[in-house]
């Protein structure tokens, strides 16, 4: 009898622990890994001394992610140099973090993140960036990593597109390429994306708020990632701001796969 109870207890522990573990989700970037990687490649500034002396490697930090997604209490786990470690912290703070959750409730947690500093890779990315559209040159820039909501902005961001803000719906419609998978499955709906507009007018930290599937999410991300903006302004300084946009995927009644114009995006 005692032996049977022992095996029952072992079985109960082995069965219950994995179930309980499913209720906890670790803190993570809101954006997909590929988008974060692309953002870091564009945003990274290689320190001049380290570049000249060919100092490279992977810098890793442990830090706290708070309930609101903000970060603090950085502890260096793997150092490359003081300047590179400082740049690592700057980049981590620019990532939009999803806090850890327990049973769906946000909680504070400690996580780790590392960024690789590779001179050859940096030079390749830098040469590629020279051919990209320059979004905006701003004289005064807020150097903090604070992300402001639209309600705090004195001037809201403005898309740099032909016709400006009033032409945004038409612009989105013209850029949209209906995904083949969504067309075959006759999928339609609205993809809602959240993102950050950086002080230089580029878009970062794109994440899906409402999904459609069939490649529609990826197509919406492609369009938003390619856009440039006049950034939000507070006290004459360009700041980081948070926005959301709706991109509607809908097949024409004729069934030929021509999407109808997108409705007015939110948060713009």
Q: pLDDT-derived band of residue 254, with 50, 70 and 90 as boundaries? A: very low
Q: What's the CATH number for 147-249?
A: 3.30.2420.10
Taking the C-alpha atoms of residue 218 and residue 249, their distance in angstroms, rounded to an integer, is 12
pLDDT higher at 252 or 58: 58
What integer pLDDT is reported at residue 262 of this predicted model?
42
Taking the C-alpha atoms of residue 137 and residue 230, their distance in angstroms, rounded to an integer, is 9
Q: Where are the domain boundaries for CATH 3.30.2420.10 in the chain?
A: 25-129, 147-249
pLDDT in tens, 96-146: 999 999 999 999 999 999 999 999 999 988 776 544 555 665 668 998 899
CA atoms within 13 A on the CB side of 5: 2
Mean pLDDT score, 249-263 = 55
Give the residue from 95, 84, 35 showing the smallest Cα distance to 240: 95
Cβ distance 99 to 108 under 8 Å? yes
Task: Please name the residues in contact with 159: beta carbons below 8 A apart, sequence gap of 6 or more.
Answer: 165, 168, 171, 227, 228, 229, 230, 268
pLDDT in tens, 68-83: 999 999 999 999 999 9
Between the alpha carbon of residue 226 and those of residues 24, 41, 65, 257, the distances in Å are 35, 15, 29, 23
Superfamily of domain 25-129 in CATH is: TonB (3.30.2420.10)
pLDDT at 177 over 50: yes
Work out the mean pLDDT of the chain and round it to a whole number. Answer: 85
pLDDT at 67 over 50: yes
Q: Is the Cα torsion angle 188, 189, 195, 199 positive or negative in sign?
A: positive
Cβ distance 266 to 195 under 8 Å? no
What integer pLDDT is reported at residue 193 of this predicted model?
97
Cβ distance 112 to 62 under 8 Å? yes
Q: pLDDT-derived band of residue 163, with 50, 70 and 90 as boundaries? A: confident
pLDDT above 70 coverage of the chain, percent:
81
């Amino acid at each position: 009898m005692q032996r049977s109870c022992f095996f029952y207890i072992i079985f109960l522990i082995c069965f219950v622990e994995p179930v309980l573990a499913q209720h906890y989700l670790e803190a993570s970037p809101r954006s997909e890994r590929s988008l974060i990687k692309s953002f870091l490649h564009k945003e990274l500034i290689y320190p001049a001394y380290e570049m000249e002396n060919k100092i490279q490697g992977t810098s890793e930090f442990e830090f706290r992610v708070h309930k609101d997604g903000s970060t603090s209490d950085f502890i260096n786990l793997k150092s490359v140099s003081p300047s590179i470690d400082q740049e690592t912290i700057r980049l981590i703070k620019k990532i939009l973090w999803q806090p850890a959750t327990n049973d769906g409730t946000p909680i504070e947690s400690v996580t780790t993140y590392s960024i690789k500093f590779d001179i050859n890779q940096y030079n390749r990315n830098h040469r590629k960036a020279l051919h990209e559209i320059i979004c905006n040159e701003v004289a005064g820039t807020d150097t903090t990593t604070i992300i402001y909501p639209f309600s705090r902005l004195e001037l809201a961001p403005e898309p740099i597109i032909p016709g400006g803000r009033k032409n945004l719906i038409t612009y989105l419609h013209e850029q949209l390429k209906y995904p083949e998978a969504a067309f075959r499955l006759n999928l339609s709906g609205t993809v809602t994306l959240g993102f950050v507009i950086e002080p230089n007018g580029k878009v970062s930290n794109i994440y899906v708020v409402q999904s459609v599937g069939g490649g529609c999410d990826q197509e919406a991300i492609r369009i938003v990632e390619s856009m440039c903006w006049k950034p939000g302004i507070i006290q004459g300084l360009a700041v980081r701001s948070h926005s959301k946009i709706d991109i509607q995927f809908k097949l024409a009644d004729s069934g030929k796969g021509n999407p109808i114009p997108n409705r007015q995006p939110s948060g713009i």
